[in-house]
């Protein structure tokens, strides 16, 4: 197998819960049925995979016949929901074994589903869930704020096709995510003062 036949894994995008939950539009870059599905982030970025770190505040086996774990993970801007079952055995056993509250790092794929009232809910189907320490969580907040601010800075660039798509599909102001990113950074500083 030559090197250009090896399927490359998509970069996992760092995104805060607030922006992730506001997203809902998915698309493919090609008509191939195996083509990756992307979630369009409101700040003008495509995400086939996401990387998040937060506090696992609760977990529950919501499965009927088989285990199907739902985890609630909170970052400074909101809440992610992750769902793992028999097709995500590692993530499911991680959720089963973890005691909430715990800091966790999650890499996974965004999933959207339409509710009865027509709104779109977004969740994460985790590939991996790992317990981490507070320093890792803080570093993720800092790096995610940087990435968010970078996306917003590039939002009005002429060649930014994802930003153009975001303007078409969302009635959302990127400045809102700038405020959320800055507030997330400030929450770290306050936490540092509390522990000092």
Q: Do residues 88 and 126 lie in contact, with contact meaning Cβ atoms separated by under 8 Å?
A: yes
What confidence tens digit (pLDDT) does each residue in 137-189 have?
999 999 999 999 999 999 999 999 999 999 999 999 999 999 999 999 999 98
**Would residue 196 count as lying in a domain?**
no
Q: Using the predicted structure, report yes or no on whether residue 3 has a pLDDT greater than 50.
A: no
Asked if residue 57 belongs to a domain, the reply is yes
Q: Is 195 among the domain residues?
A: no
Q: What would the two tokens of residue 160 be? A: 């930014």
Spatial contact of 136 and 52, defined as CB atoms under 8 Å apart? no
Number of compact structural domains in the chain: 1
In tens, the pLDDT along 96-115 reads 999 999 999 999 999 999 99
Task: Confirm whether 73 is domain-assigned.
Answer: yes
- Domain with 179 in it: 9-188
**Rounded Cα–Cα distance for residues 140 and 133 (Å):** 11
**Where do we find the tokens 């102001």?**
173
CATH code for position 179: 2.40.50.140
18 falls within a domain: yes
Q: 84 lies in a domain?
A: yes
Instruction: Work out the pLDDT band at 193, boundaries 50, 70, 90.
Output: low
- Which of the four pLDDT bands, split at 50, 70 and 90, describes residue 190? confident
Q: How many of the other CB atoms lie within 10 Å of CB of 172? A: 15
- 23-71 per-position pLDDT tens digit: 999 999 998 988 999 999 999 999 999 999 999 999 999 999 899 999 9
Domain membership of residue 123 (yes or no) is yes
CA angle, 64 then 67 then 69, to 5°: 105
Residue 2 lies in a domain: no
Instruction: Report residue 153 CA to chain centroid gap.
Output: 20
**Cis, bond preceding 101 (omega within 30 deg of 0):** yes
């Amino acid at each position: 197998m030559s090197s250009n036949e090896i399927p490359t894994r998509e970069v996992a995008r760092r995104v805060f819960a607030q922006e992730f939950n506001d997203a809902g539009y998915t698309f493919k870059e090609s008509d191939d049925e195996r083509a990756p599905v992307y979630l369009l982030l409101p700040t003008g970025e495509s995400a086939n995979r996401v990387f998040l770190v937060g506090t696992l505040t609760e977990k529950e086996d919501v499965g009927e016949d088989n285990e199907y774990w739902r985890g609630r993970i909170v970052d400074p801007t909101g809440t992610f929901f992750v769902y793992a079952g028999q097709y995500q055995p590692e993530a499911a056993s991680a959720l089963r074994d973890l005691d909430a509250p715990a800091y966790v790092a999650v890499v996974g794929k965004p999933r959207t589903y339409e509710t009865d009232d027509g709104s779109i809910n977004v969740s994460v189907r985790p590939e991996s869930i790992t317990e981490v320490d507070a320093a890792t969580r803080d570093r993720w907040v800092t790096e995610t704020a940087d990435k968010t601010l970078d996306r917003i800075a590039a939002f009005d660039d002429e060649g930014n096709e994802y930003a153009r798509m975001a303007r078409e599909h969302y009635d959302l102001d990127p400045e809102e995510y700038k405020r959320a990113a800055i507030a997330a950074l400030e929450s770290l500083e306050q936490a540092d003062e509390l522990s000092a």
